[in-house]
Amino acid sequence: MKKSILKIDSIDFGYSKTNLIYKNFSLILNKGELISIVGASGSGKSTLFELISNNLKPSNGSIYTKKISSIYQDPYSSFHPSFSIINQINDVVVDMDKNELKNLCKELSLDENLLDKKSYELSGGQLQRCSILRAILMKPDLLLADEPTSALDNVIALETMQLLVKFLDRFGILLITHDENLAQWCSDKIINLDTN
């Protein structure tokens, strides 16, 4: 039986009452599924993540979600430059399992020694892998991935998505992307906000 980890039921939302971004919008995401949200800039992709994260409230309808972790577009803004990567992972991961950390680093092709460095000492690709590592170690039910490959070159972008898809046995992924080819390749379902 499928386990729902995100249920959006008939929500309305707009930054003004006369200009609704979402009207009667519904979505169900199950564990093991990847749904992509595509659309032009300003179509409401990031707003949807803010609603799911409970940073914004819909004017109608409801949103139910289980435990969330997030991966963002710019890995450099995801880590504070003054502290090591491992310190910042320890800040958000409860009861760190050293064996799991080691195994995940291996799966992510990430040298464990890089975790002792600060964000500015790593490449964009290495740092985005650190973002993925942190997100997975938080043991989410739902992973929100906001343009996680847009700051990376094409080869590393594909590798990054291949890594994320490998972990779909652990959670479901809601992906924001402007790359329709990427969405076609990895998604169980694509929601195009331009046509809603």
Spatial separation of the C-alpha atoms in residues 85 and 142, rounded to whole Å: 23
Give the side-chain half-sphere CA count within 13 A for 55: 7
DSSP 36: E
Give per-residue burial for 72-83: e unless 16+ CB within 10 Å, then b.
bbebeebbeeee
The pLDDT of residue 195 is 62
Domain that holds residue 39: 4-192
Q: Is the pLDDT of residue 56 over 60?
A: yes
Q: What is the CATH classification number for the domain harbouring 100?
A: 3.40.50.300
Average pLDDT over residues 4-27: 90
The pLDDT of residue 139 is 92
**pLDDT of 23-45, one tens digit each?**
999 999 999 999 999 887 878 88
Number of domains in the chain: 1
Residue 15 parent element (H or E): strand 4-16
Helices 124-137, 98-107: axis angle to 10 degrees equals 140
